[in-house]
Structure 1
Amino acid sequence: MLDRFSDGNEQGYRDNAGGTVADGRTPPFRFMDDAYTADRGAWAASGAEWLGGNLKGLASKLGYLKRLGVSALWISPVFKQVAADPHSYHGYGIQNYLDVDPHFGTRQDLVDLVDGAHRHGIRVILDIILNHAGDVFGYCFDGNRYPADDGGMDPRWDGARYPVAGWRNAYGEANIPFAAVDPASHPYAWPNDAVWPAELQDAATFTTMGRIVNWDYDPEYYEGDFCTLKDIHHGDHVRDAEGRRIPDAFVTSPALVALCEVYKFWIALADVDGFRIDTVKHMEPGATRYFVSVIKEFAQSLGKENFFLVGEITGGRANAYNTLELTGLDAALGIDDIPDRMEYLAKGWREPTDYFDLFRNSALVNKSSHTWFGKHVVTLFDDHDQVRKGNAKGRFCGDKGNDGYEHLKAVLGLNLCSMGIPCLYYGTEQGFDGAGDNDRYLRECMFGGAFGSLQSCDRHFFDEEHEIYRFVADVVALRRQHLALSRGRQYLRELCDDLEPGEFRLPHLRDGRIRGMVPWSRLFADRELLLAINTDTEYDHAAWVTIDAALHAEPGTLTCLYSSDPEQIGSAADIIACNGRAARILVPAGGFVAYG
């Protein structure tokens, strides 16, 4: 979240080359002195506004990210926002698709950031929006046709178009004719009035059907406005006999063609490596498919054979799979049940099979590879809006009732070493604990300012000695050393606490909760790595765990390659002939281990 990451004014952090920065005005955060010292009301109110993170600040922290183990950087939208909206720091309310918002810097700052990232071996993925523009025009009052909600100026989707008062000017007034802007009568329209580029100023660019109320009703969620953000008409579709939209029969609109040109421009200018496409659920499959084809071909013409397109596809696994297959996107992000099951498995409130079965082959995918989902699904547990949690939002560590921080190493071990493309939300590596009834509480400032995490002000969080930062860096290094952790098949493993009276069973809820070990294996070629987390934050847990009998046919041991308890690293676990083959491993309280 660019506005919340770095303003470049921190002191006492390590620069990109590893040296300590002595100048700067914001000192490092110190827990005992600085936590929860800000006035709650003023602190919370500040989180709704622009706070000052920018591209140069982010560029100054590439070393921090590299040393953490980051290989790709997904940046929230950088494009120019509606000037009259003081709350669009998030970047999703675009007014000019061809410029960088001045709060963030300049086009050249973006070019410099990407160049710097590439020198550090980090790819850059820009968050882009095709579905909608910002609040660039206003509806006019239409009698009693729609429910009055804020003085009658709140059109709701009803399948028909609403009259438009005009483009908004820089002050938010809808007083410019809703058509191509005439520079003779509106010489000051550039750069803050209406929408740009000019190719988007045709009234037919927008559906003008009012905002979405039912987020799961087709065609409402395709054609309605995303709250105040104005829906763009991508083209016309044809349905089959069962009412499904046919991507092959989709006819593109001039607006979609213009947006393709816009995003080609950013690839050519900034040399970015991929796009994260916002709100794919709300786009016609045919429109997404067209965009993917155009962008892939353009990137390939520049020698970018692996330009990466990940779509925000909310909903379940089946919807994500079908969308990927229809559109040609490389990966899906936003599948609601993945972050839910990951978070609450690590806290002991979900069945392990419920999480691991998300990555099993089935009739759903009909793929021969055991790792199809692992290559096409982005996995994460913290994110910037947490749609799945409704109005009770909270980072993983914001869940004080479940000792979120004490489970943090377990969930990170699960995320980084189970199947999928792992994604880390900024601040998680510093134990950020935002929680509340609004997205702002998930978007604290790494650089402090008026809205620092842990209810602090004017203290930055770029602490490379933080125990969670060090844990992430260590586990990512482990992942890079062992191909099985990024490419391997995956199996939830049976375990047994006591060989004599017990029997091997998959880990499962007991009286509604798991307090103990959850083990799984990653297998690649002739190598098996045995991983495990402990959902009990008070006690270590040991158990016999099933491993692959063919790979371990001869007597031997497994070695602890990594543990959240450093003293355990290098210790041996005996392998015995039981339940095929089994090894006895130990997992520290609230911790993570890897044996191989």
Structure 2
Amino acid sequence: MAEAHQAGLRVILDIIFNHSGSNWVYPEGTPGGTSTPHYTQGRYAFGAWLGDQGQTVGAIAGPEDGAWPSELQAPECYTRAGSGSLGAGDINDPFAEHKRSDFITLRDFDQNTVLGDLAQCYKYWIALSDCDGFRIDTLKHVSLEDARNFCGAIKEFASNLGKDDFFLVGEVAGGDYSQDRYLDVLDRNLNAALDIGEMRPTLNGVAKGLVHPHAYFDGFNPASAGMGSHRNLGNRHVSILDDHDHVFGQKLRFSSEAASPQQIAAGVAMQAFTLGIPCIYYGTEQSLAGPEPAERFWLPEWKGSDRYLREAMFGPAHPLRSGRAGLESALDPDLPGFGPFGTAGQHCFDEQGPAFTRIAAINAVRAQYPCLRHGRQYLRPISLFGRAFDVYGPGELIAWSRILDDEELLCVVNGHGTDARGADVLVDASLSPSGSLLQVVLNTAQAGCPLASGAHPVGSSLVVKRSSGGMAFVEIRNLPPSEVLVLANHPQPDPGDVLP
């Protein structure tokens, strides 16, 4: 942790306070069985704790038995409601089925009983690890009041340690409304929500040139989107291109059906240069895409199982043995490891790969210009060679500006995966008078292949022109498929500027 902090990194731990592990079972004769019984609005009796080999034990006798710490060993700590629907019930109802149900075999806590004890556990981890925040798993499955109280207790403890900006981000499944509701109620106690609802597949579609750009950018409009008011703030949602669950849409990595590594970087650019906190899921920078296409026909639950979102970047030659045998680190020599691109015993962390180099350049430009992190956002109309300025449909240039004080950074993505595109793109006439220059500060085609020649290299400038109607624009020409440009009206800080 100390080394991470010295390198300028902040570390966020993934925590759960909705449920424990599969450490006890229901009594014999419980409807539906002892592991995943049918959901009840009441409470089942407690059965027995499980031991180190999954066997039932009469009492907790050692550290591998039951649940720890000891405060979590009373049956009253658990709702004991069985395994129900994780989506059923009103998000505002503290007794809704999705809040009382076990998480399949993982046992649901009765929050009123254990909230304080769980908060103490995680306060300990803050003090021990010196971490900088928590990603809170399954936050939707905890009542609004309990979530607010837990997050408030964590925030107060962290502040007492001098961590005034301890970052809490919640995983709230269920879509825009659910995310928006938890952010509203928890207010200052929750920094941001993972944007894992409808916006993730929309971003995927726009970046691939399959969906109209308005579908994505309208998601930032406070008047027309459930999460719009929070997205528009820029610091209350964590944008997601890929994640480990894909609650909405197919369980398929963006890379799996991308036209090229360039298109993967284009998707990341839309995260990095629009409002929000961009989160790059591991393996996106390596174009992890699941097994080879020829293998997919034979795979169980292809596009429907999260196993295909979780392949091993550092692929083992063989997996661990199934079940409890794997706890002893015993390999199964009869099965190949689940490695990248259908391999076994190989890794694919390539810092020279086409997606990696482009994403590195994207992140470097975002870090260099505060405008790309904090500026206001405006979707820019384009003109397709004489036609009216408008936001055109899938497969054309996608352009938007970020504006901070007198700075404008124009971001342009070619939404077509196989063909070059060009257009005239509007800019702010008050910030860029006719005849002024916008300088190219990022060209992902050049980042991916520094020796390549092409349109709009870094350091070149475009002249701001005026239309007959007085609108300011620049001419973008021959932008290669899925490549990205960023242009700045003030590429270098002026004398006397305060630097970040």
TM-score by length of 2: 0.83
1:569 alignment counterpart: 458
Q: Does 1:387 align with 2:272?
A: no
1:531 alignment counterpart: 411
Corresponding letter in the other structure for 2:344:
C
What aligned pairs does 1:210-221 form with structure 2 within 5 A after superposition? 210-213=82-85, 215-218=87-90, 219-221=96-98
Q: Assess if the C-alpha contact under 8 Å between 2:219 and 2:231 holds in 1.
A: no
Shift of 1:478: 0.4
Out of 160-169 and 566-575, give the one that drifted further. Answer: 566-575
Q: Assess if the C-alpha contact under 8 Å between 1:315 and 1:334 holds in 2.
A: no
2:362 to 452, 465, 475: 475
Q: Does 1:137 align with 2:4?
A: no
Whole-Å Cα distance in 2 between the matches of residues 430 and 317 of structure 1? 29
Corresponding letter in the other structure for 1:393:
K
Give SS of 2:265's match.
Answer: helix
1:59 alignment counterpart: none
Q: Assess if the C-alpha contact under 8 Å between 1:168 and 1:175 holds in 2.
A: yes
Whole-Å Cα distance in 2 between the matches of residues 348 and 366 of structure 1? 23
Q: Does 1:376 align with 2:236?
A: yes
1:350 alignment counterpart: 211
Q: Assess if the C-alpha contact under 8 Å between 1:430 and 1:469 holds in 2.
A: yes
1:493 alignment counterpart: 380
Q: Larger RCO: Structure 1 or Structure 2 (Cα < 8 Å, ≥ 6 residues apart)?
A: 1
2:65 to 193, 202, 223: 193
Q: Assess if the C-alpha contact under 8 Å between 2:382 and 2:425 holds in 1.
A: yes
Give SS of 1:310's match.
Answer: strand
Q: Does 1:551 align with 2:431?
A: yes
Out of 435-444 and 125-134, give the one that drifted further. Answer: 435-444
Whole-Å Cα distance in 2 between the matches of residues 339 and 372 of structure 1? 16
Corresponding letter in the other structure for 2:465:
I
1:206 to 75, 78, 83: 78
Corresponding letter in the other structure for 1:539:
D
Gaps of 5+ in 1: 1-113, 182-188, 236-252, 509-513
Q: 1:442 to 1:506 in 2, by over 3 A?
A: same
Give SS of 2:172's match.
Answer: strand
Whole-Å Cα distance in 2 between the matches of residues 117 and 480 of structure 1? 18
Whole-Å Cα distance in 2 between the matches of residues 373 and 404 of structure 1? 32
1:429 alignment counterpart: 285
1:324 alignment counterpart: 183
1:56 alignment counterpart: none
Gaps of 5+ in 2: 91-95, 292-301, 317-336, 447-452, 489-500
1:591 to 483, 492, 495: 483
Whole-Å Cα distance in 1 between the matches of residues 17 and 266 of structure 2? 36
Give SS of 2:223's match.
Answer: coil
1:242 alignment counterpart: none
1:458 alignment counterpart: 345
What aligned pairs does 1:261-410 form with structure 2 within 5 A after superposition? 261-327=120-186, 328-362=189-223, 372-389=232-249, 392-399=250-257, 403=259, 405-410=261-266
Corresponding letter in the other structure for 2:200:
P
2:107 alignment counterpart: 230
Q: Assess if the C-alpha contact under 8 Å between 1:385 and 1:442 holds in 2.
A: yes
Residues 152-185 of structure 1 deviation map (CA, whole Å, 9 limit, x = unaligned):
85312121212232111111123335xxx4xxxx
Shift of 1:407: 1.7
1:175 alignment counterpart: 57
Shift of 1:190: 2.1
Whole-Å Cα distance in 2 between the matches of residues 365 and 397 of structure 1? 28
Residues 425-473 of structure 1 deviation map (CA, whole Å, 9 limit, x = unaligned):
1111111012733222211222221221101111122221112111111
1:78 alignment counterpart: none
Q: Assess if the C-alpha contact under 8 Å between 2:413 and 2:484 holds in 1.
A: yes
Residues 55-107 of structure 1 deviation map (CA, whole Å, 9 limit, x = unaligned):
xxxxxxxxxxxxxxxxxxxxxxxxxxxxxxxxxxxxxxxxxxxxxxxxxxxxx
Corresponding letter in the other structure for 1:487:
H
Shift of 1:370: 9.5
1:419 to 275, 285, 290: 275
Whole-Å Cα distance in 1 between the matches of residues 160 and 276 of structure 2? 29
Q: Assess if the C-alpha contact under 8 Å between 1:140 and 1:153 holds in 2.
A: no
What aligned pairs does 1:69-88 form with structure 2 within 5 A after superposition? none
Shift of 1:410: 1.2
Give SS of 1:388's match.
Answer: coil
Corresponding letter in the other structure for 2:98:
Y
Shift of 1:330: 0.3
Q: Does 1:515 align with 2:387?
A: no
Shift of 1:362: 2.8
TM-score by length of 1: 0.70
Residues 309-365 of structure 1 deviation map (CA, whole Å, 9 limit, x = unaligned):
000012333332221121120000143112111111111122211111112233878
Q: Assess if the C-alpha contact under 8 Å between 2:36 and 2:104 holds in 1.
A: no
Q: 1:126 to 1:153 in 2, by over 3 A?
A: closer
Corresponding letter in the other structure for 1:208:
R
Q: 1:410 to 1:260 in 2, by over 3 A?
A: same
Q: Assess if the C-alpha contact under 8 Å between 2:434 and 2:465 holds in 1.
A: no
1:54 alignment counterpart: none
Q: 1:356 to 1:211 in 2, by over 3 A?
A: same
Q: Assess if the C-alpha contact under 8 Å between 1:309 and 1:330 holds in 2.
A: yes
Shift of 1:406: 4.8
Q: Assess if the C-alpha contact under 8 Å between 1:494 and 1:519 holds in 2.
A: yes
Q: 1:152 to 1:337 in 2, by over 3 A?
A: same
Whole-Å Cα distance in 1 between the matches of residues 268 and 38 of structure 2? 42
The aligned length equals: 438
1:581 alignment counterpart: 472
Shift of 1:366: 11
2:48 alignment counterpart: 166
Whole-Å Cα distance in 2 between the matches of residues 370 and 315 of structure 1? 16
Percent of counterpart pairs with the same letter? Answer: 36
Residues 103-147 of structure 1 deviation map (CA, whole Å, 9 limit, x = unaligned):
xxxxxxxxxxx122112111100000000011111112336xx4x
Corresponding letter in the other structure for 2:174:
G
Whole-Å Cα distance in 2 between the matches of residues 298 and 272 of structure 1? 13
Q: Assess if the C-alpha contact under 8 Å between 1:559 and 1:571 holds in 2.
A: yes
Out of 419-428 and 534-543, give the one that drifted further. Answer: 534-543
Aligned Cα RMSD in Å? 2.1
Whole-Å Cα distance in 1 between the matches of residues 153 and 207 of structure 2? 41
Shift of 1:206: 0.3
Q: Assess if the C-alpha contact under 8 Å between 1:371 and 1:488 holds in 2.
A: no
1:58 alignment counterpart: none
1:155 to 34, 37, 42: 37
